[in-house]
Amino acid sequence: MGYWVIKKEEYLKELMQENALWQAVLGQIELSVSRGNYMTWFKNTQLIKNKDGVVVVGVPNVFVKNQLERKFNDLISQTLSSNGIKAERIEYKIHTGIPPQVKLDDVVLKNPGQGAQEAAKPTRSADSMHPVYRLGLNERYTFENFIVGSSNELAYAACQAIVKKPGDKYNPLFIYGGVGVGKTHLIQAVGNAVMAAKPNARVVYTSSEQFLREFIDALRKKTTTDFAKFHRGADVWIVDDVQFLAGKEKVQEEFFHTFNNLYQVNKQIIMSSDKPAKDIPTLEERLRSRFSQGMTIDMQTPDFETRCAILHAKAMSQDIDLPQETAEFLAGRTQSNVRELEGSLNQVLAYCEVHSAQPTIQVVTAMYETRRSRPKHLSSRHIIERTARHFHISIEEILGPKRDKDIVVPRQVAMYMLRSELHLSFPKIAHELGRKDHTTAIHSIGKIEKELSYETPIKQHVIELREGLYA
């Protein structure tokens, strides 16, 4: 990474004094709750204010806030009191920064090779263009429901800084990391936060695949001028999964021009990729150098504690209080990918729903035991057949090429079932359903897993199918 971080000593000293007291309180709390609880709910908190009987505790996200309010308020109040602070009221506030050791706004960031950029005036206002900006943003992805840990705190901090001042310090921002580490979530959160702060902002979120698709479409319809205008009119231009530009020369050229246009007028550019720019094969050199012009951040798989916190958060968003042991069990089993982690939680919750049980560690271990000794008849073929029958379509249709919605959905459900019941690999699942490309399986399964977070008809189908399989 081409940047240095220099911490301001003074700033740190001040913070330490303010928080010395809070550290004492935390030290005491650590002794009275389990380690898991401490790590999940207390570790990243800080004292923001202590004045006139009001204590304000800074917390990293809404889930910690809820949990501290609901479960630990008395404990905190008592511990404060035994440290000489009589709090009449304790407030929990989500602090938009993150723990002081990595708060980027308070550190000096230098980027070698990036000269001062004079802002060129945009030549025309883009307001007159049809403003379907905000298209592509999913409101589900927010900073508030993003759990911060050491694996993603830099990316998180940079994204937050961008919301405060788009087009300023971290431009372009290039985030890379493996599948399911939270790249899309985070860059979408930027878009949503910018829109919340400035409803008129022109935020474009697109994937490079969509960019390509629409570009080809525009070529065909001879509307490339509109296409270019739309993208070049963005205030914040977010492009997900730029690795898919590899090898596509014509679209790389369009991308390059859009990029330059936006960059010249200091518009914010954010890109994600599953690998660093230098490792994307057949990416034009000029794009490669553009990508690494600003800030490049590597997002890692969340560590164990963060995975536990994510599980708690996801469960809580469905009003379920996940026991710490269950969270630890699941976080231990799924190590690489947050999407899979969510998937395993959803399986547990679906199982509990079917069996009217609570997700205690006993229930969950029993569930995994049953899985291991699954009935012999559960083969891929059997699952695919059952799924087709359940949705009243034929086996030819589910395995065939048709892309009608009433066939695509059952196909996606079948892929999900192969994953959840037989734990098949993505390529194997794609193969079983007659697909060549395993990313189809990843997308399909991800889509169904998302549906399972809500009370959707699909969730009901999955529950019924699963009941049928094990009946």
Binding site for ligand ADP (CB under 6 A): 145-147, 152, 177, 179-185, 302, 310, 338-339, 342
Choose among ligand ADP, Mg ion, none what residue 230 binds, the Cβ cut-off being 5 to 8 Å by kind: none
Size, binding site for Mg ion by CB under 5 A:
2
Name which of 46 and 184 has its Cβ closer to Mg ion: 184
- Selected from 19, 67, 184, 206, the binder of Mg ion by CB under 5 A is 184
Output the residue with the shortest Cβ distance to Mg ion. Answer: 184
Q: How many other C-beta atoms are found inside a 10 Å radius of the C-beta of residue 435?
A: 18
Q: How far apart are CA 207 and CA 284, in angstroms?
A: 18
**Min dist. Cβ of residue 342 to ligand ADP (A):** 6
Strands 107-110 and 89-94: unpaired
Q: How many other C-beta atoms are found inside a 10 Å radius of the C-beta of residue 178?
A: 14
103 CB burial (10 A radius; 0-12, 13-18, 19+):
buried
**Which of 147, 244, 231 lies closest to 189, judged by CA?**
147
Output the residue with the shortest Cβ distance to ligand ADP. Answer: 182
Name which of 184 and 412 has its Cβ closer to Mg ion: 184
Name which of 50 and 145 has its Cβ closer to ligand ADP: 145
Residue 293 within binding range of Mg ion, rule CB under 5 A: no
Choose among Mg ion, ligand ADP, none what residue 359 binds, the Cβ cut-off being 5 to 8 Å by kind: none
Alpha helices in 198-248 (DSSP H): 208-221, 224-232
| E-only strand ranges, 97-144 | 107-110
Phi, psi of 350 (to 5 degrees): -65, -40
Residue keyed to tokens 């008809």: 457
**Min dist. Cβ of residue 188 to Mg ion (A):** 9
**Min dist. Cβ of residue 170 to ligand ADP (A):** 18
With residue 270 as reference, give the H or E element that holds it: strand 268-273
Q: How far apart are CA 138 and CA 135, in angstroms?
A: 9
Name which of 154 and 238 has its Cβ closer to Mg ion: 238
Residue 387 within binding range of Mg ion, rule CB under 5 A: no
Question: Which two structure tokens, joined as six digits, stand for 380?
Answer: 């891929």
Name which of 236 and 308 has its Cβ closer to ligand ADP: 308
Name which of 36 and 191 has its Cβ closer to Mg ion: 191
Binding map of Mg ion across residues 164-183, x = CB under 5 A, - = no contact: -------------------x
**Min dist. Cβ of residue 443 to ligand ADP (A):** 11
Strand partners, 59: 94
Choose among ligand ADP, Mg ion, none what residue 95 binds, the Cβ cut-off being 5 to 8 Å by kind: none
Q: How far apart are CA 388 and CA 386, in angstroms?
A: 6
**Which of 398, 399, 413 lies closest to 459, judged by CA?**
413
Name which of 55 and 68 has its Cβ closer to ligand ADP: 68
Residues that bind Mg ion (CB under 5 A): 183-184
